[in-house]
Amino acid sequence: MPDTETNPVPPAPDGYLGADMALSLRMGSIIWALGIILTVVLLPLSPPTAAIGSAGWALSGLLLALALALVWALRSPRIQWSYTRLLASSYVGLVAIVVMQWLAGGVGAPYERLLLLGVVYVAAIHPPRRIVAFMVMTALALGAPFLYDRWDLDAVAASLAGLIVWIALAFVAHVMMRGVRSQRVSLRDGESRARVEARLDDLTGIGNRRAFEEALGDEVARVRRLGSPLSVAMLDIEQFKSVNDEFGHLEGDECLRALAAAFKSQLRAPDRCYRWGGDEFALVLPGTRDAGADRLGQRLREFVAVACKRPDGESLLVRYGAAQLESGMSAEELVARADLSLGARLPG
């Protein structure tokens, strides 16, 4: 198989396909910072002293300090976040707002309006099942003051109307972000296909020269770390020009396709075959020394003579040359040495 596959992307958690963690963290830090600013603005207008007196200021200060710490954590590259942790932080924010509402007296205090920030954020980031659960908790948070403070029908209606509006905003935010994610997935898949196609030879279906050079560079770095051998072999068709001249390029293309299939069928799993250009092919042979590369080349030559025929029924004959990576040798020098070895082989 050609070495054209890109590194697989780790699968996204269930329901988060196309999500962008970096964007989610930035949004979270902005949402929390905005909540802090609004709370500071509201504190003089609705002091947190109704429930526990002046101690409410200390508790409010503690909650704001925790919120500031969370903003820092969301912006810090040293802290690893998951979507479950992001959701948990939203629940922490919900509880903090409930506490602030209680400190300020319950029904009629303005802090419950800050719940909208968490609702929109959760709806934009998380899948529907988690959004629904958060909305249920938000509804309970809105209703809590009517249990511990007093029943006010007008306030209940206002809270219910606000909840309905929040649900609509959550739906809009979720649909918009789902569209963005779908576009991101489509673009990523398209880019992945383009990268693969850019490294495939259209005629033979094996890797092209670009794929060969990239794979060889990676392989050279790997074997140097491990201290294992590596060889490169070059092969071409003897008198291939005569096939094109006598039978046409379409028949010549068929010969190239047959040759690529023959090479692939005879290689070990770690070995890879590429079309270098024209009628020339290149093999990357990890774990193979000079002698092993020469034996493989001879075996391929014999196999091709039997399995691959010219349009006139004559056997296709191939030349080969191989070289082993030596200390201090670059990938380009290794290829050049293999190509010189190929050029030194006489036809026949």
- Residues annotated as catalytic are 279
Give the up-direction half-sphere exposure of residue 3: CA atoms within 13 A in the CB hemisphere.
22
Q: What CA–CA distances, in Å, run from 115 to 70, 99, 109, 134?
A: 17, 12, 13, 11
- CA–CA separation, 186 vs 121, rounded Å? 24
Q: Is the dihedral of CA 17, 218, 271, 308 positive or negative?
A: positive
Sign of CA dihedral 113, 118, 122, 128: negative
CA distance 25 to 222: 35
Question: What are the angstrom distances between the C-alpha of 274 and each of 6, 143, 148, 210, 330?
Answer: 16, 68, 75, 9, 19
CA neighbours closer than 13 Å in the CB half-sphere of residue 91: 14
Asked whether the beta carbons of 339 and 331 are under 8 A apart, the reply is no
Asked if residues 312 and 282 have their Cβ atoms less than 8 Å apart, the reply is no
Give dist(CA 259, CA 256) in Å, integer. Answer: 5
Residue 348, helix vs strand vs coil: coil
